[in-house]
Structure 1
Amino acid sequence: MSESTLATPASGTGKRVVQMSERLNSKCFCISLDNDALRQALESELGSSDLVAQVEKRCPYLFAAQPVFISDSQTKRLAEVVRAVESAVALPAYREHILAHAPAIARHDPGGAKGVFFGYDFHLREGGIGLIEINTNAGGAMLNAVMARAHQVCCMDKKQLASAAASAAALEKNIVDMFLAEWRLSSRDRPLQTIAIVDTAPQQQYLYPEFLLFQKLFERHGLHAVIADPSELKLHEGVLWYGDMAIDLAYNRLTDFMLESPESAALRAAYLEQAVVLTPHPQAHALYADKRNLALLCDAGQLQALGVPQDVQDVLLASILPTEVVDAVHADRLWNERRHLFFKPAAGYGSRAAYRGDKLTRRVWQDILAGEYVAQALMSPGERVIGPRESPESLKFDIRCYTYGGNVQWTAARMYQGQTTNFRTPGGGFAPVYSLPDVDFTCEIDAISKAAGSAMTCCGSDCT
């Protein structure tokens, strides 16, 4: 395997629009995040200026000051990849193949729930897109909903800004509708009343502010919501309890994906007894998020054997970064190719124990061979310029598509420095993604220049 340049348009309008988005990512210095508006949005959601102050102190690099630009053709391809994966996963042959080797709890019928907040993570570079992983408990959607209220982008016309604002306003409603849909799909015979947002030591989690935002959102829509450590849940006579509150649905933010820890025992038992609707659930993780699945989904022979339609195969093979399961039999070859590879634990999350091949030591390499890892072809992430024009610096970014039932709900960027994404980079964090239309390059230049000359604050002609 070598460094990948997947799904790159060769020529024509699509290529020129990609060049336009890259130009804005490298030349636009506009500070589009209105910190006062962000503070007001957070205070409106959380209902407390003290909580907002805590968020600002605890998570100073949660929100980036500038947006990321991509093209409409890239946006379309992102959605195509999501649909292609969903199409493959829906095939009985695929499910049987994956679940045959999964833990027993992954074979348990989840009762109809699909799983909320899948996250499809991509690298975009020079017009190409590459799927790097799928997560089934992706964080950040609610934070993006709040952030969207506080960004004003100079390099878009009024129609584009209005569309972006409308999408942000709809996201919160879609989030609530998604949880209500999970309840209905689980064939419960009464309205959803209570939700537990569950994670280990939730108040210690970096994204704890998001848990508070979810709690307030649910309560505004008439749902009682609590934030709980799994050890605080008790199963009694077929009902899952948090104190004296019976829990209907558990929004699962645990990284104990198969509910194996002693602290998850009550939640595990409640799930197996269908005493609670759990979303996302172990079966979703096994079918989507185990990184060994990517090795199958980018293998033409296995896709053909599973009966994946050719048009779906074409999308998967063009868009998933080449991935293989690390096997000691191939240790010498993989070591020799390591500079072009990225190594990830099959059940990993949050970039933990993930390594660029060119950074590997022999000791770590032995740990990889002894563990369950995949090797994935490197594709450099996109770059976004930040800082003052006089002394600019570049941050990397990846793209996350939040999805439900195969539909993209929201697209965000994560800007960072270092080997992998993080929320500890000055100037980095979540950033909104704005899609440029596939129109003539010159016309786009004219439109942006006109916007720059309007009442909007902009870096003017330097953007173009």
Structure 2
Amino acid sequence: MHNTPNCELTSFERLNRDCFCLSLDPAALAAALDAELGSPSLSQLVRDRCPYLFAAQPVFVARPPLERMARVVQAIEAVVGLPAYREQVLAGAPAIARDGAGGAQGVFFGYDFHLDQDRLGLIEINTNAGGAMLNAVLARAQRSCCQAVQAMVPSRGAVTTFEQRLVDMFRREWRLAGHSRPLASIAIVDEAPQQQYLYPEFLLFRQLFERHGLQAIVVDPSELACRHGRLWHGELAIDVVYNRVTDFYLDLPANAVLRHAWLEQAAVLTPHPRAHALYADKRRLALFSNDGALRALGVADDDRQVLLANVPRTEVVDEAHGDRLWAARRNLFFKPAAGFGSRAAYRGDKLTRRVWLEIMTGAYVAQALVPPGERVIANKEGLQSMKFDLRAYAYAGDVQWVAARVYQGQTTNFRQPGSGFAPVYTTVDGSGRGMCEPDVEHASYVFLLDEAGDVHALPHVLYVALARGQALAPMLADQTLRLADWYVRLRADGVPGAVVNETYGFVRFDREGRFKLEAAPGDAAWPTPEEHRRMQELLFSIDLEPNGA
């Protein structure tokens, strides 16, 4: 079993650390993917090309950090809307960001955050963030293969609404560009799209658009041409380009047709170079985290305070401050100003002198280090600690969806078992009660006690799943443990108030981790005084004297 949780951790941190009993059934997930994609060949493509696209287990996050994330997105949108900000930023941006067609705002901004206990930090902003449709499919799959957590995951209605909002977003981009007739066609464009890691998502988007009556294609820029003031794919006139290329300012010859379409308004390009200059260039983080710069721009006090509290201090690396930054490097993270996907990004404590010279001669920013969250997962080798960040998909300052990315190493990647996109569960606390049910008067809290005297909190929703045979606990295979079930009266604010009843018994896990309750003779399952004290600490999150009750 995992080590005893620290009583200073929140219920959600305990879930991320100790909840490994419940995971998705791979066979059920595959069946759900087949049904969603409409073709077994597409789900097979996901399994073959992207074996670690979906994380093994969910991530738990409380509501307050999610609300703060949404507030950060709103504050940045307010700053970007200031004429003084736009004038200052675009004056130093490539000409294409100033000269291109206006109107469209840019779809699928991804605001990436680290969450370390109560410390939230905006790590970067992406203007062509991938994964939104994959997370929608994942949410649908979970509803069909994991009944035990139905109260925790988005409903089918919520997923359908999200997908509708995505289509509406593209239609709004079309209207913002000045067009009155209905949107008719969308080209999903990337360089060699069939070779891209997220190619399955391109196919999902194509299907989504087609379900809503739009003609949709997935193409390389070389398959497009500009003529007669329009962008064409063969005989199909393209209204909107969903731009997935990472040549953000369209400098490469291979993207010349997109550059022409943007400059000549031959099609609506979204996201576009101007959006990248205003939001995603990492030098903007230096401005968002600088009190003096925000004041000089006339940023409202409440927006300024939100940004200073949640955007880690960032500065542009230059030779004048090189010695100071090198000395402070262990508390910094270095990343290229125009980079993406964690390419050429480095933790300061991992830097060599050779890499440091490359940083000093390149366009880099140094950002105060905010550790990522931690998610403990269970696999065949045992328990494994993974990292996670949170991605808020947003449009026009409005958060549309939040997902987690689980990974190992110093930067985000989906290359190891257990990594990938993960759903964010936030509707229950550590007891399994819904946060939206403040009028509930009682709740059941469950603990497992092992032979070493360690106490392990077991969220009630997971206890129910195990008891119903809807989940396995392979890490507890072939073990017999004592089980404590405390019936607790709640205060008006939903916080545990007093223990009403305590029940003890034994639970046996078979070789596959199946759960079976067993009767306890006499007082054989009762806790020791120290175990009882530990359960009280976990329940009430206070330090009690060893003999306290």
Q: Same fold (TM over 0.5)?
A: yes
Q: Which SS does the other structure have where 2:322 is aligned? A: helix
- Do residues 396 (structure 1) and 379 (structure 2) align? no
Q: 1:444 offset after TM fit, Å?
A: 7.1
In structure 2, what residue type is equivalent to 1:369?
Answer: M
Q: 1:453 offset after TM fit, Å?
A: 2.6
Q: 1:391 offset after TM fit, Å?
A: 1.9
Of the candidates 254, 257, 268, which is equivalent to residue 263 of structure 1? Answer: 254
Point out the structure with max Rg over C-alpha: 2
Q: 1:377 offset after TM fit, Å?
A: 0.8
Q: Which SS does the other structure have where 1:422 is aligned? A: coil
Whole-angstrom distance in 2 between the partners of 1:130 and 1:322: 10
Asked if structure 2 preserves the Cα contact closer than 8 Å seen for 1:30 and 1:66, the reply is no
What's the counterpart of residue 342 of structure 1?
333
What's the counterpart of residue 267 of structure 2?
276
Farther-moved stretch of structure 1 (239-248 vs 94-103): 239-248
Whole-angstrom distance in 2 between the partners of 1:154 and 1:49: 21
Asked if structure 2 preserves the Cα contact closer than 8 Å seen for 1:452 and 1:459, the reply is no
Asked if structure 1 preserves the Cα contact closer than 8 Å seen for 2:152 and 2:428, the reply is no
Whole-angstrom distance in 1 between the partners of 2:147 and 2:315: 41
Farther-moved stretch of structure 1 (453-462 vs 418-427): 453-462
What's the counterpart of residue 385 of structure 1?
376
Asked if structure 2 preserves the Cα contact closer than 8 Å seen for 1:29 and 1:388, the reply is no
- Do residues 453 (structure 1) and 453 (structure 2) align? no
- Do residues 202 (structure 1) and 193 (structure 2) align? yes
- Do residues 417 (structure 1) and 408 (structure 2) align? yes
Whole-angstrom distance in 1 between the partners of 2:149 and 2:414: 30
Alignment of 1:34-433 (within 5 A): 34-151=25-142, 159-161=151-153, 163-388=154-379, 391-433=382-424
- Do residues 435 (structure 1) and 435 (structure 2) align? no
Q: Which SS does the other structure have where 2:394 is aligned? A: strand
Structure with greater helix percent: 1
Whole-angstrom distance in 2 between the partners of 1:318 and 1:215: 39
Whole-angstrom distance in 1 between the partners of 2:274 and 2:14: 42
CA pair 67-450 structure 1, distance change in 2 beyond 3 A: closer
Asked if structure 1 preserves the Cα contact closer than 8 Å seen for 2:140 and 2:156, the reply is yes
Cα distance per residue 1:97-150 (max 9 Å; x no partner): 100100111113533111100000000011211000000000000000101112
What's the counterpart of residue 9 of structure 1?
none
Q: Which SS does the other structure have where 2:425 is aligned? A: strand
Q: 1:275 offset after TM fit, Å?
A: 1.1
Where relative contact order (Cα < 8 A, 6+ residues apart) is larger, the structure is 1
Whole-angstrom distance in 2 between the partners of 1:17 and 1:168: 35
Whole-angstrom distance in 2 between the partners of 1:143 and 1:124: 22
Whole-angstrom distance in 1 between the partners of 2:336 and 2:442: 46
Cα distance per residue 1:357-383 (max 9 Å; x no partner): 111111111111111000011111111
Farther-moved stretch of structure 1 (429-438 vs 311-320): 429-438
Whole-angstrom distance in 1 between the partners of 2:253 and 2:189: 15
Asked if structure 2 preserves the Cα contact closer than 8 Å seen for 1:110 and 1:281, the reply is no
Cα distance per residue 1:136-167 (max 9 Å; x no partner): 00000000010111225989875444x54432
Q: 1:315 offset after TM fit, Å?
A: 0.2
Q: Which SS does the other structure have where 1:409 is aligned? A: strand
Asked if structure 1 preserves the Cα contact closer than 8 Å seen for 2:121 and 2:370, the reply is yes
Q: 1:280 offset after TM fit, Å?
A: 0.4
CA pair 17-276 structure 1, distance change in 2 beyond 3 A: farther
Q: Which SS does the other structure have where 1:85 is aligned? A: helix
CA pair 29-155 structure 1, distance change in 2 beyond 3 A: farther
Farther-moved stretch of structure 1 (30-39 vs 68-77): 30-39
Alignment identity in percent? 60
Q: Which SS does the other structure have where 1:246 is aligned? A: strand
Asked if structure 2 preserves the Cα contact closer than 8 Å seen for 1:291 and 1:345, the reply is yes
CA pair 323-156 structure 1, distance change in 2 beyond 3 A: farther
In structure 2, what residue type is equivalent to 1:105?
Answer: I
Aligned positions, number: 448
Asked if structure 2 preserves the Cα contact closer than 8 Å seen for 1:45 and 1:216, the reply is no
Q: 1:244 offset after TM fit, Å?
A: 2.0
In structure 2, what residue type is equivalent to 1:148?
Answer: A
Q: 1:177 offset after TM fit, Å?
A: 1.2
CA pair 90-217 structure 1, distance change in 2 beyond 3 A: same
Asked if structure 1 preserves the Cα contact closer than 8 Å seen for 2:100 and 2:264, the reply is no
Q: Which SS does the other structure have where 1:33 is aligned? A: coil
Whole-angstrom distance in 2 between the partners of 1:297 and 1:458: 45
CA pair 226-158 structure 1, distance change in 2 beyond 3 A: closer
Cα distance per residue 1:2-38 (max 9 Å; x no partner): xxxxxxxxxxxxxx99701000000011343233343
In structure 1, what residue type is equivalent to 2:308?
Answer: L
CA pair 109-234 structure 1, distance change in 2 beyond 3 A: closer
Q: 1:56 offset after TM fit, Å?
A: 0.5
Farther-moved stretch of structure 1 (59-68 vs 27-36): 27-36
Whole-angstrom distance in 1 between the partners of 2:400 and 2:253: 34
**Which aligned runs of 4 or more in structure 1 are off by greater than 3 angstroms?**
152-161, 163-166, 436-440, 442-448, 458-464
Asked if structure 2 preserves the Cα contact closer than 8 Å seen for 1:155 and 1:451, the reply is no
Whole-angstrom distance in 2 between the partners of 1:259 and 1:100: 18
TM-score (normalizing by structure 2): 0.77
CA RMSD between the two structures: 2.5
Q: 1:39 offset after TM fit, Å?
A: 2.2
Farther-moved stretch of structure 1 (292-301 vs 450-459): 450-459
Whole-angstrom distance in 1 between the partners of 2:149 and 2:158: 16
TM-score (normalizing by structure 1): 0.91
Asked if structure 1 preserves the Cα contact closer than 8 Å seen for 2:148 and 2:461, the reply is no
Structure with greater strand percent: 2
What's the counterpart of residue 14 of structure 2?
23
Instruction: List runs of 5+ in structure 1 lacking aligned partners.
Output: 1-15
In structure 2, what residue type is equivalent to 1:92?
Answer: P
